[in-house]
Amino acid sequence: MRARTATLAAPARPQVNLLPGDVRQARTLGVVKRWTLVSSGVTLLAIGTVAAVAQLQTQIADSELAQADAESAGIVAEQRPFARITSLRAELETLRSARDHGVAQEILWSDYLGAITAVTPPGVGISTLDYTGATPLAAAPGSADPLVVAGIGAITFTALAADVPDTAAWADALDAVPGFRDVRVTTVDRADKGGDLRYEMTGTIQVDDAALAHRFDPQPEGDR
């Protein structure tokens, strides 16, 4: 049996700090101060870096804002010559709208007076013609006859004749004029005016949309 040989290590010598206590405290304080200075330096460096980055970003934003302002000013300057054109166009549209509204009920009466004269029976003379109709500010008046639907206006006429004409045929002839309808000869009376015109007649004519001139209606693009 092999014998085991035990090797005994020498015990560690105790280490004793023989420096005075105030020296040890001074050294410890110096280390703390150094680390404090290092920490403060790192903190200041970080703060300075953040401040520099923030200032750079501010300068970039200010530059971009100035560029945007310059571009906006340039666009406004380019549009300035056209501002008067835009204003004139708006004024023209307003005038055109007012004109269209004002003449929406326009009737070319010379044509209709000629048509009335053409269908008036021989020996009958029109003494008065009055028209009452819709305007841009007022609606058309209603009809006093419950059997007549009011149009955009009505003509009231007075005629004198030597003999009583065929009023039904006359009414039919007036009804045939485009824009006229529901013609009524309402009265035929003896006239006290002397002379050959011994009879006086009154009547009404309803005027409908077909009588409107439409001279200023919007035209299709191809017809302009």
Q: For residue 161, what pLDDT is reported?
A: 92
Q: Which two tokens stand for residue 114?
A: 């000629």
Percent with pLDDT over 70 in the chain: 69
Residue 203: what are its φ and ψ, rounded to 5°?
-165, 175
Average model confidence (pLDDT) across the chain: 78
The residue extents of the domains of the chain are 19-102, 109-211
For 2-60, what is each residue's pLDDT tens digit? 444 444 455 555 555 565 666 666 667 666 667 777 677 767 777 777 777 777 778 88
109-211 CATH pick, 3.40.50, 3.30.70, 1.20.1070, 1.25.40: 3.30.70
Question: How large is the average pLDDT for residues 163-184?
Answer: 94
CA-nearest of 208, 100, 113, 104 to 152 is 208
**Residue with the larger pLDDT of the pair 222 and 208:** 208
Which amino acid belongs to residue 52? A
Give the chain's radius of gyration (CA, Å). 54
